[in-house]
Structure 1
Amino acid sequence: MSTIFNRSSLIAAAALACAALTPAVSQAGAGDIVVRARALYLEPANESDAIPSLEVPENAIHVSSKYIWEVDASYFVTDNVALELIATSPQKHTVSIGDTKLGSVRHLPPTLTVQYHFAPTNPVVRPYIGAGVNYTRFSAVKLAVPDVAQLELETNSWGPAFQIGADFPITDRLSLNVDFKKIDIRSDVKIKGTDTVVTRVKIDPILFGVGLAYRF
């Protein structure tokens, strides 16, 4: 967890330094659309129930961290309130227990948030917070406990999403963006072809992103 916050602190500091050198520019207002493209670092919480029959302790199942891309669009309902739809492509993750690889899974996690922008006219930094809902669809599930059983996940996951970030104006329409998100993504793990639940996995990732925003 410390790795992602160390990286975020350095990038945020650089963003503030760059933004302080830019001239005053106009802001997004009611009716505007802002499109952002971000590079993200995704770090799962890696929480899971114990599996007594296999002598697997709590939180032993790990989903791989990775860098991904994201595109989102925000529609400003008022000067301060915006609706943001966040999208990416299906992302593949490796799943393991300790040094034992269980396989891989893909997930597609579109997210809708309502944002509040605190200082939409500030020429240096424009912070915001957001909250909403995430829908995740799992696909291409290829999981198995070696020499024991094939596994499968619930297809769908619904959960809350929380967000904090800031835009740093560069020009009249272009901004640098830094963004944190915490998303609840959870699924029951079952023996394939049965209703037998082996464990429940809480992926619940933290995502740190940096990118560019363009106001239309």
Structure 2
Amino acid sequence: MKKIFLTLLSLTLFTGSVMAQEQQEQKEPQDYKKWMVRVRGVGVVPNESATIGTIGGGVSLSNSFIPELDFTYFFTKNIAAELILGTTKHNVNTTSSDLTAVGLPNSVDVDLGSVWLLPPTLMAQYHVYAGDVFKPYVGAGVNYTIFHSKKTGNTVQNVDYKNKFGYAFQIGFDIDINDTFFINFDVKKIFLKTDVTVDASNLAGGPLDIPADVTIDPLLLGFGVGMRF
């Protein structure tokens, strides 16, 4: 939590600094558009791992492909903030879990159903003008992932996911079609962990809560189109 606070404080100071710079630059002619909106198709590839109590084993999350919408505001010609919106569904199961305590084999993949992730992400970006058409950028920021619309499946009683803050990094580039429209390629890495509790009381014939520390750390590969205004 301390790291999250320091990151948010840094972003706040960063925003204040660029706003002051913007006020100074308002005295000069503006040669850029302040707003940008993009629509992307994004492949979501989790890099998952887990420490699971009681039954051990690992975790597996399915890949996903989603639409993504983002809005970018330019404080200066080079410095911007981007809000990224999208939601993704993943099927979840444990791998090689030991269920001998409930009369099952010692290496079983347990179906935990599916869950949707909503990770709104705020990025601070630096844009480079490498020519009239090619415009690369890098970004870093924070996200807050909300786990919603879970379906537990038919194996266990319930699965609970804790909403969590995480970090995000980004690299990408725009290729201009004209002054308004452009093509975008974008790669993001989100560093995300969550606490999961599996209620397996239906398998044990009595109370059985299985805790797990799950790392998701998805890689997001995006391609889309955008416009400036």
TM-score, normalised on structure 2? 0.72
1:214–1:92 Cα change, 3 Å: same
Contact 2:64 2:89 in 1 (8 A): no
Between the aligned partners of 1:97 and 1:197, the Cα distance in structure 2 is: 12
Instruction: List aligned pairs for 1:24-173, cutoff 5 A.
Output: 29=32, 32-51=34-53, 53-54=54-55, 56-57=56-57, 60-88=58-86, 90-98=87-95, 99-119=109-129, 122-143=131-152, 146=155, 149-154=157-162, 156-173=163-180
Instruction: List aligned pairs for 1:192-211, cutoff 5 A.
Output: 192=199, 198-211=211-224
Structure 2: runs of 5 or more not aligned: 1-29, 96-108, 202-206
Between the aligned partners of 2:34 and 2:73, the Cα distance in structure 1 is: 6
Give, in angstroms, the shift of residue 185 of structure 1.
Answer: 2.2
CA root-mean-square deviation? 2.5
Percent pairwise identity: 40
> Larger deviation: 133-142 or 171-180?
133-142
Per-residue CA deviations over 1:177-202 (Å, capped at 9, x if unaligned) read 000000122211114499x6611111
Aligned length: 181
Give, in angstroms, the shift of residue 153 of structure 1.
Answer: 1.1
1:28–1:62 Cα change, 3 Å: farther
SS in 2 for 1:49: strand
Structure 1: runs of 5 or more not aligned: 1-26
Give, in angstroms, the shift of residue 50 of structure 1.
Answer: 4.0
- Given residue 213 of structure 2, which amino acid in structure 1 is its aligned partner? R
1:189 to 179, 185, 196: 196
TM-score, normalised on structure 1? 0.76
Between the aligned partners of 2:40 and 2:60, the Cα distance in structure 1 is: 25
Contact 2:62 2:90 in 1 (8 A): yes
SS in 1 for 2:179: coil
SS in 1 for 2:152: strand
- Given residue 61 of structure 2, which amino acid in structure 1 is its aligned partner? V
Between the aligned partners of 2:172 and 2:121, the Cα distance in structure 1 is: 16
Contact 1:28 1:76 in 2 (8 A): no
Bigger Rg over Cα: 2
1:102–1:197 Cα change, 3 Å: closer
Per-residue CA deviations over 1:73-131 (Å, capped at 9, x if unaligned) read 1000000001100112x422110124542211111111000100022x62131110000
